[in-house]
Amino acid sequence: MIIIGICDDDEGYRGQIRTICSSILNAEEQEYEFVEFATGEEVLAYQGERIHLLFLDIEMPGMDGLKVLAEVRRNERFWRIVFVTSHKELRWETVDLKTLAFLEKPLEQAGVESCLKTVIRENRENIDIAYKTLQGTCFIRLDRVVFIQARGNYINVCSESEEIPGYDSIKTMEGQTRGTTLIRAHKSYLVNLQYVKKVSKDSLTLTNGTVVPVGRTYYQGVKDAYFAFVKSITIDRKKEK
């Protein structure tokens, strides 16, 4: 199941997006639900299940789409955002790790289809990670893990909202998550590329402000993986005509 959010003050455009998405998702045999918003304020007030893809109009009365983006950068309820507007000169202001694409009105099915297929793939790759605690084996979804830190004989599994001690080794966790967005950045850290904001030679700055060290032997691999990840989630924007 994926949840599609649509935020536009024009009900007609919301209906257009809903129709295009339904046609594509039905053809993909993908289960889905829609959540609709008429204002940016309604988006920020949302308390429901995670929205996998939010189609967000830029120009709206009150809080516009760019202000909404600034507020939801660290909000786990919104995974990917597609900006929808008739003002193509604003495209570069929408660039962000949450931003999947910039689509111009009127929407073309090909652009919407690319966005939906990317989100479907990401959702299928979002595995459960198992780790041992005093209460037994616990599971956490990959996209909730910001980083995992080794602390002596145990680990801390850190999400945006909590830090949970576990009793597996960092090596065991690395083996379990190999091939995902959780990568080794240091002998004591696994970091989720989904939460990396900036890469430097000796550290990673995460979206929640945490700074994680990067080991010298890991730097090139981290750098390559980060840019490959950004490229994989960002659909090329149309060039200026």
Min mean pLDDT across 84-88, 111-115, 117-121, 170-174 is at: 84-88
Domain boundaries, the chain: 2-124, 128-231
CB 32 within 8 A of CB 25: yes
- CATH number for the domain running over 2-124: 3.40.50.2300
Backbone φ, ψ for residue 72 (5° rounding): -105, 5
Neighbouring C-beta atoms of residue 233, cutoff 10 Å: 19
204 phi-psi bin (left φ>0, alpha ψ -120 to 50, beta other): beta
Q: Is 173 helix (H, G, I), strand (E, B) or coil?
A: helix
Q: Is 240 helix (H, G, I), strand (E, B) or coil?
A: coil
pLDDT one-digit tens code per residue, 167-193: 999 999 999 999 899 999 999 999 999
The CATH fold assigned to 128-231 is OB fold (Dihydrolipoamide Acetyltransferase, E2P) (2.40.50)
pLDDT one-digit tens code per residue, 193-211: 989 989 999 999 998 899 9
Cα separation of 95 and 69, whole Å?
10
Asked if 2-124 and 128-231 have one fold, the answer is no
Residue 237 has pLDDT above 90, yes or no: no
Q: What is the mean pLDDT of residues 152-156?
A: 88
Residue 238 has pLDDT above 50, yes or no: no
pLDDT one-digit tens code per residue, 73-90: 778 789 899 998 877 666
Query: Which amino acid is residue 1, in one-letter code?
Result: M
Q: Is 188 helix (H, G, I), strand (E, B) or coil?
A: coil
